[in-house]
Chain A
Amino acid sequence: MAVPEAVDWDALIRDPRFQSLHRRKSVFLWGLMALSIAYYFLLPIGAAYFQDLFKIRVWGVINVGLLFALSQFVVAWVIALVYSRKASRDFDVMAAELSAEFGSPGAQARAGVER
């Protein structure tokens, strides 16, 4: 399956820039993931166990439950936007730098010297 290439993967992942990229990405991704899952499950949990709260009318006939369900859309979109901005401004730039270096034949030689 793998395309024949001569990238030194071990050197790449030992590179401090790669480690920094991965650390920042992991914290950011899993943090957003936990946030979105927690926020989503408040909906079925609220609908099941906090019906009195969901029934409170706030805007005409519109109640807390309906507003909360609508807020899920906004939160989902905001998370998508926040992630894609962060990814294209930070992660992509860092990854491109590493790719350019380790993807070219010269990069391997340099990586070899540094070792």
Chain B
Amino acid sequence: MKATSKKWSAAALLAVATLGTRAAFAQTEIGAEYRWLTFLVFAVVIAITMFVTYVAAKRVRSASDFYTAGGGVSGFQNGWAIAGDYLSAASFLGIAGLISLYGYDGFMYSVGFLVAYITVLLLIAEPCRNIGRYTLSDILAYRNDPRKTRIVGALSVFTVSTFYLTAQMVGGGVLVKTLLGINYETSVACVGVLMLSYVLFGGMVATTWVQIIKAVLLVSASLVIVALVWTPYGFSLPAFLQDVVSDPRVQARVAVLLGDPAKSMSAAELGQRFLEPGLYLKAPIDQISLGLALVFGTAGLPHILMRFFTVRSALQARRSVVWAMVIIGGFYLLTLFLGFGAAKLVGPADIAAVDAGGNMAAPLLAQFIGGGPNAFFGNFMLAFVSAVAFATIVAVVAGLVLASASALAHDLYVGVWRAGKTVTPQGQVKAARVATIIVGAMAIGIGIAAKGQNAAVLVGLAFAVAASANFPCVLLTLHWKRCNTGGIVAGMLIGTIAAVGLTLISPNLTYPKAVKAAAHKVLDAAPAKRAAASEALASGDAATVGKAKKDLATLDKAVAKANADLAKWANDETSFMGLEKPLFELKNPGLISIPLGFLGVIFGSLLMRDRRAEEMWNEVYARQNTSLVVSKSVAH
């Protein structure tokens, strides 16, 4: 550790000395001479997961093995698998990136993602284990009309999973493209084929182990990076943050974010501002709406709920959430160091230059920590973190595809289409595998078609639908006696339509008029800025000239982008929905759509009385509280 930290300090000095040339490496992902190393690390990670799949494949004989690993996963293992399922590329790369670019506000996301698990722990996990078998719709169908609830349940599972899946595919494609230089379409196909092979052959057994391996790799890689970042400060938090806020590049970043008000602030004040809220989330009500969607959405994510069917009992389900909270919370604490470390060592401007959303902050930090782009260890670290990010995406996608495939095969095929007829165990496994191929092929197709979409918006939408449709339905069918088929159908439809509809008329879409106005503003301001920079160039002072050169380069980029925007939207005046400006001001619909989903379930249930649902209440109520006679998945 000591030797590495010395090496690190030397590298830091070197990096500062060559500040001017550093922007260049940022563009070239991994140098050609080290590309073999990257492929080697990727190959090792893939080989391990393939071996696990090979072993797992022998154990998958029944539908229960395929969907829930036979219910034989322990609470501790399931905790790691939940962490593996949940810590998607969006949270690993995205949150570290947000912190590195916006400071405090990025960290607020971490908190929401962890607190979400309290809802899962207290209200959802154990009753789900006691009532359900393979899918979310099993819970809904338990005391309601199985046909109707399975159809709406499956539709909602598809909606949530597809948005989430698309986000992961887009993120994965961009990541592999940036790191390895493989084109986007091939990258997406690679992610898809690899994921398909895990799910198809190894079912939930392999998927669980891939998620566990990935979570262990992710946490270990982060621990190593954080140790290297933090050691020079003797593991003192104030000393580390003091150094972050004293960094001129961090202060410059805050000045850019604040605009005019920054002019009257001192350098120290600008740095300190990085640790205060409001640099990213400017509308308070938006933040609260997002918080609602995060906290209640997790409890409605089908691939997370499905994980509770893989354990033996309610006790194990509870243990798995507690372990997941320890791992997920611990990881999000590390993002504090990953994000602020990247801001201090790599610099916000260089991070944003590689990816405007900051998604490359953690990989770039890993490379820097290892000694930079020219050192073997630096490239090894970059390759390792990239391989972990790749494994992350594949593991999350595998979980999502399994959830969708189970909705298709178990709910729609076995539960609705072949309702009343017996489907042999072999037939069920076959249906599950056919459904996996269908969903997997769709995932690859959608991933390629969605090129260029904003991954963060898609994840937000997935959480919004899960919180507005799935969460009210699952919660109320478990905890409210009067809940029935009418309520489930109304809640699912209203929640989904409200969440998707409000997003379609929200500021998340591109509004050509606003884009063009912004582009014109940039172009109008350009000549004056150029004149100021030319003047500075002539001054002769080395520091001023250096800054002016940088300013000019930034200006050229902004002008090029403004021109490209103008050309791209030349013929459009309205958004995809035909709107000139957003009708609904919130970026996340949760604040409106979650209450609408709940109202849907309540009024639907009250308007359409169902005697059977109320008669079966006693059973649901007793069963979820006593775990008496848990489903057959345990009793082989």
Residues of A within 8 A of B (CB): 1-3, 5, 7, 9-10, 12-13, 18, 21-22, 25, 29, 32-33, 36-37, 40-41, 43-45, 47-49, 51, 54-55, 57, 59-63, 65-66, 69-70, 72-73, 76-77, 79-81, 83-84, 87-88, 92, 95, 98-99, 102-103
Q: A54–B276 contact, CB under 8 A?
A: yes
Tell me how far the C-beta of B316 lies from the nearest C-beta in chain A, rounded to whole angstroms.
11
Q: A41–B291 contact, CB under 8 A?
A: yes
Say yes or no for B237: interface residue by CB 8 A criterion.
yes
Tell me how far the C-beta of B319 lies from the nearest C-beta in chain A, rounded to whole angstroms.
7
Over the window 319-355 of chain B, the binary record of Cβ atoms lying under 8 Å from chain A Cβ atoms (1 yes, 0 no) is 1011001100100110000000000000000000000
Cβ-closest 10 pairs across A and B:
A48-B284, A60-B238, A47-B277, A44-B287, A9-B619, A9-B618, A95-B626, A40-B115, A36-B118, A72-B111
Bound-state CA distance A68–B388 (Å) is 31
Over the window 610-625 of chain B, the binary record of Cβ atoms lying under 8 Å from chain A Cβ atoms (1 yes, 0 no) is 0000000011011101
Question: In this complex, what residue of A is CB-closest to B273?
Answer: A55
Q: A33–B133 contact, CB under 8 A?
A: no
Q: A73–B332 contact, CB under 8 A?
A: yes
Q: A60–B239 contact, CB under 8 A?
A: yes
Question: In this complex, what residue of A is CB-closest to B112?
Answer: A40
Contacts of A77 in B (CB 8 A): 325-326, 329
Q: Other than A45-B288, A48-B285, give 17 A-B pairs with Cβ distance below 8 A.
A: A3-B632, A33-B118, A44-B284, A60-B239, A60-B242, A61-B245, A61-B272, A65-B275, A72-B114, A77-B326, A77-B329, A80-B322, A81-B322, A84-B322, A92-B315, A99-B628, A102-B628
Q: B104–A66 contact, CB under 8 A?
A: yes
Q: A98–B281 contact, CB under 8 A?
A: no
Question: In this complex, what residue of B is CB-closest to A81?
Answer: B322
Bound-state CA distance A41–B287 (Å) is 10
Q: B108–A22 contact, CB under 8 A?
A: no
Contacts of A103 in B (CB 8 A): 628-629
Say yes or no for B627: interface residue by CB 8 A criterion.
yes
Q: A99–B276 contact, CB under 8 A?
A: no
Residues B104-142 near A (CB distance < 8 A): 104-105, 107-108, 111-112, 114-115, 117-119, 121-123, 133, 138, 141-142
Contacts of A80 in B (CB 8 A): 117-118, 121, 321-322, 325
Bound-state CA distance A13–B631 (Å) is 20
Q: A61–B241 contact, CB under 8 A?
A: yes
Chain B interface, number of residues (Cβ within 8 angstroms): 61
Bound-state CA distance A34–B394 (Å) is 36
Bound-state CA distance A63–B274 (Å) is 11
Contacts of B121 in A (CB 8 A): 80, 83-84
Question: In this complex, what residue of A is CB-closest to B287?
Answer: A44
Tell me how far the C-beta of A46 lies from the nearest C-beta in chain B, rounded to whole angstroms.
8
Bound-state CA distance A41–B278 (Å) is 16
Over the window 242-269 of chain B, the binary record of Cβ atoms lying under 8 Å from chain A Cβ atoms (1 yes, 0 no) is 1001000000000000000000000000
Q: B287–A76 contact, CB under 8 A?
A: no
Contacts of A66 in B (CB 8 A): 104, 107, 241, 275
Bound-state CA distance A3–B322 (Å) is 29
Tell me how far the C-beta of A21 lies from the nearest C-beta in chain B, rounded to whole angstroms.
6
Over the window 135-152 of chain B, the binary record of Cβ atoms lying under 8 Å from chain A Cβ atoms (1 yes, 0 no) is 000100110001000000
Tell me how far the C-beta of B151 lies from the nearest C-beta in chain A, rounded to whole angstroms.
16
Question: In this complex, what residue of A is CB-closest to B237?
Answer: A62
Bound-state CA distance A5–B635 (Å) is 14
Partner of A54, one of B141, B277, B321, B332: B277
Contacts of A48 in B (CB 8 A): 277-278, 281, 284-285, 287-288
Q: B111–A69 contact, CB under 8 A?
A: yes
Contacts of A10 in B (CB 8 A): 618
Partner of B625, one of A18, A41, A73: A18
Residue pairs across A and B with Cβ atoms less than 8 A apart, 16 shown, are A32-B118, A32-B122, A40-B295, A44-B291, A47-B105, A48-B278, A59-B237, A62-B238, A66-B104, A69-B104, A76-B115, A77-B329, A80-B117, A80-B121, A88-B318, A95-B625
Q: B627–A95 contact, CB under 8 A?
A: yes
Q: B275–A61 contact, CB under 8 A?
A: yes
Tell me how far the C-beta of A37 lies from the nearest C-beta in chain B, rounded to whole angstroms.
7
